[in-house]
Homo-oligomer: A and B are copies of this chain.
Amino acid sequence: MPTIVVDVMPKAELLDPQGKAVTGSLARLGHGAFQNVRIGKRIELTVEGEVTDELLAQAQQVADDILSNGVIEDVVGIEVVE
């Protein structure tokens, strides 16, 4: 069954406390090469049958309105896999 993958990240201009904590942990563990970490969501929507343009538009709307909080997050990608 095809899957629509929606990627949601905290807005670039906002502090990401979870990511900051992981950045610090990685540095302490000897992985300072990763200078910054930001953590968002990857949401997989499974659909039955074909992914039509209409369904993809519906997914975009759901991503913007329901799956992400536009005040603090951006939908950075929507793609169909498999």
A contact residues vs B (CB 8 Å cutoff): 1, 4, 7-9, 19, 22, 25-26, 29, 31, 33-48, 55, 58-59, 62, 66-67
Asked if B66 and A26 make an inter-chain contact with CB atoms under 8 angstroms apart, the answer reads: yes
Stoichiometry (number of copies): 2
Known contacts A29-B66, A62-B31, A45 near B37 by CB under 8 Å: yes
Asked if B43 and A39 make an inter-chain contact with CB atoms under 8 angstroms apart, the answer reads: yes
Please, how many angstroms separate the alpha-carbon atoms of A1 and B7 in the complex? Answer: 20
Please, how many angstroms separate the alpha-carbon atoms of A62 and B47 in the complex? Answer: 32
Asked if A45 and B34 make an inter-chain contact with CB atoms under 8 angstroms apart, the answer reads: yes
A40 shortest CB reach to chain B, Å: 5
Asked if B45 and A42 make an inter-chain contact with CB atoms under 8 angstroms apart, the answer reads: no
